[in-house]
Amino acid sequence: MVSLLDVINVGLFAAALRMATPIAFAALGGIFSERVGIINIGLEGIMLTSAFTGVTVSYYTGNPWLGVLAAIAVGGLLGFFHAVLTVKFAGDQIISGTGINIFAMGFTAYMSQIIWGSRGASENVTGIKVVTIPLLRQVPVLGAILGKHSPLVYIMLAVTVISYIILFKTPLGLRIRAVGEHPTAAETAGIDVYRIKYLCVTLSGMLTGLGGSFLSLGHLNLFAFGMTGGRGFIAMAAMIFGKWTPFGAFGASLLFGFADALQMRLQAMGLLPSQIILTIPYLLTVAVLAGVVGRARPPSDYKPYVKE
Partner 1 sequence: MTKKSDTASSADAGAGGKFLVLSPGLSMIGTQLVAILMAFIVGAIILKMTGYSPLEAYGAMLRGAFGDVYGIGQTFTQATPIIFTALAFLFAFKSGLFNIGAEGQFLVGALAAALVGISFNGLPAFLHVPLALLAGALAGGLWGFIPALLKTKFGAHEVITTMMLSYVALYLTGYMVNYPFKAPGWVAQTVPIAPSAELPRILPPTQLSASIFVAGLLTIGIQYVLRKTAFGFEIRATGLNPNAAQNAGIDVDRRLILALVVSGAIAGLGGSGEILGVHRRFIEAFSPGYGWDGLAVALVGGNNPYGALLAAVLFGALRSGGMVMTRATGVPLDIIFLLRALVILFVAAPTLIRSLLRRGGLRW
Partner 2 sequence: MTPAVDLRGITKAFPGVLANIDIHFSAEEGEIHGLLGENGAGKTVLMSILYGLYRPDEGKILVKGEEVAMDSPAKAMRLGIGMVHQHFMLVPSLTVAENIILGREPKKKGVLLDENKMLEQVRAFCELYRLDVDLEAPVYTLSVGVQQRVEILKALYRGADILILDEPTAVLTPPEVEELFRAVRALKDEGKTVIFISHKLREVLAICDRITVLKRGRVVGTVDADKTDLGQLAEMMVGREIVYTFDMEPCEAETTVLSVEGLEATDDRGLPALRGVELRVCASEIVGLAGVEGNGQTELVEVLMGLRRATGGRILLGESDITTTPPDERIKAGISHIPEDRHKWGLIEGFTVLENLILGSHRNPRFTGRGGSIDFKEATKYSEELVRDYSIQTPNINTPAGHLSGGTQQRLIVAREFSRQPRLIIASQPTRGLDIGATEYVRGKLVEMRDRGSAVLLVSADLDEIWALSDRIAVIYEGRIVSFKDPEETNEQELGLLMASGKVD
302 residue type, one letter: Y
Residue span 141-180 as binding mask against partner 2, x where in contact by CB under 8 A, dash where not: ------------------------x---xxxxxxx-xx--
Dihedral sign of CA atoms 45, 48, 51, 53 in order? negative
**Closer CB to partner 2, 165 or 269, in the complex:** 165
Question: Judged by CB under 8 A, does residue 184 bind partner 2?
Answer: yes
> Rounded distance, CA 241 to CA 239, Å?
5
How do strand 131-132 and strand 148-149 relate by DSSP bridges?
Answer: antiparallel
Q: Choose the contact partner of 111 out of partner 1, partner 2, none; CB within 5 to 8 A by kind.
A: partner 1
**Closer CB to partner 2, 3 or 188, in the complex:** 188
Question: Judged by CB under 8 A, does residue 107 bind partner 1?
Answer: yes
Question: Judged by CB under 8 A, does residue 43 bind partner 1?
Answer: no
Residue span 70-99 as binding mask against partner 1, x where in contact by CB under 8 A, dash where not: ---------------x---xxxx-xxx-xx
Q: How many residues bind partner 2 (CB under 8 A)?
A: 22
> Rounded distance, CA 254 to CA 241, Å?
12
Question: Judged by CB under 8 A, does residue 9 bind partner 2?
Answer: no
Considering only residues 257 to 276 of the shown chain, the ones binding partner 1 according to CB under 8 A are: 273, 275-276
**CA separation (Å) from 285 to 40, 211, 297?**
17, 19, 18
> Rounded distance, CA 36 to CA 25, Å?
18
| Distance in Å, CB of 19 to partner 1, minimum | 16
Spatial CA neighbour of 29 closest among 227, 201, 175: 201
**Closer CB to partner 2, 140 or 190, in the complex:** 190
Q: Choose the contact partner of 236 out of partner 2, partner 1, none; CB within 5 to 8 A by kind.
A: partner 1
CB atoms within 10 A of CB 94: 14
Angle between helices 231-241 and 10-35 (to 10 degrees): 80
Tell me the CB-side half-sphere exposure of residue 81, using CA atoms within 13 A. 18
CB atoms within 10 A of CB 141: 9
Residues that bind partner 1 (CB under 8 A): 41, 85, 89-92, 94-96, 98-100, 102-107, 109-111, 113-114, 119, 229-230, 233-234, 236-237, 240, 273, 275-276, 278-279, 282-283, 285-286, 289-291, 293-294
